[in-house]
Structure 1
Amino acid sequence: MQSKAVLFDMDGVIVNSERYWVETEESEILPAAVDGSPDTSETTGMNFREIYDYLEARHEMTETKDEFVDRYENAARDIYGEKVALMDGFEDLLADLRDEGRTVALVSSSPHDWIDRMLDRFDLRESFDRIISAEEIDGKSKPEPDVYEFAAKEVGVEPADCIAVEDSENGVRSAKRAGMQVVGYRNESDEELDLSEADAVAASAEELREILLAE
Structure 2
Amino acid sequence: MDARATTHHLGLVIFDCDGVLIDSEPLSLACLTTGLNRIGVAIDLATVRARFTGTSMPSIMAHIARDYGVTAPDGFVETVKAETLALFDTELQAMRGVAEAVAALGLPACVASSSDPVRLRHSLTLTGLLPLFGAHVFSSAQVKRGKPFPDLFLFAAERMGVPPGACLVVEDSVPGVTAARSAGMRVAGFTGGGHWGHDPAGSDLVRAGAARIFSDFSDLATIIAEA
What TM-score, normalized to structure 1?
A: 0.88
Report whether the alignment pairs 1:93 with 2:101.
yes
Counterpart of 1:71?
79
Q: Distance in 1 between matches of 2:76 and 2:59?
A: 11
Counterpart of 1:5?
12
Q: How has the CA–CA distance of structure 1 residues 203 and 90 changed in structure 2, closer, same or farther, with 3 Å as cutoff?
A: closer
Report whether the alignment pairs 1:83 with 2:91.
yes
Aligned-pair distance for 1:214? 4.8
Letter of the 1:75 partner, please give it. Answer: E
Letter of the 2:130 partner, please give it. Answer: R
Q: How has the CA–CA distance of structure 1 residues 5 and 45 changed in structure 2, closer, same or farther, with 3 Å as cutoff?
A: same
Q: For 2:56, which of 44, 47, 53 is the aligned residue? A: 47
Trace 1:1-215 onto structure 2 (pairs within 5 A).
Answer: 3-26=10-33, 28-37=34-43, 39-40=47-48, 41-61=50-70, 63-64=72-73, 66-97=74-105, 100=106, 102-128=107-133, 130-137=136-143, 139-186=144-191, 187-190=193-196, 191-192=198-199, 194-196=204-206, 197-214=209-226
Is the partner of 2:75 in helix, strand or coil? helix
Q: How has the CA–CA distance of structure 1 residues 77 and 161 changed in structure 2, closer, same or farther, with 3 Å as cutoff?
A: same
Aligned-pair distance for 1:126? 2.6
Unaligned runs of at least 5 residues, structure 2: 1-5
Report the RMSD for the aligned CA atoms in angstroms: 2.1
Q: Distance in 1 between matches of 2:222 and 2:68?
A: 42
Letter of the 1:68 partner, please give it. Answer: F
What TM-score, normalized to structure 2?
A: 0.84
Is the partner of 2:21 in helix, strand or coil? coil
Q: 1:110-140: per-residue Cα shift (whole Å, max 9, x none)? A: 1111112122223333311511011111x11
On the 8 A contact 2:31/2:80 being kept in 1, the answer is no
On the 8 A contact 2:174/2:205 being kept in 1, the answer is yes
Displacement over 6 Å in runs of 4+: none
Q: 1:54-88: per-residue Cα shift (whole Å, max 9, x none)? A: 21111121632x33212322123223322111111
* Identical columns (%): 26
Bigger CA drift: 30-39 or 193-202?
30-39
Q: Give the number of equivalent residue pairs.
A: 209
On the 8 A contact 1:34/1:60 being kept in 2, the answer is no
Q: How has the CA–CA distance of structure 1 residues 160 and 126 changed in structure 2, closer, same or farther, with 3 Å as cutoff?
A: same
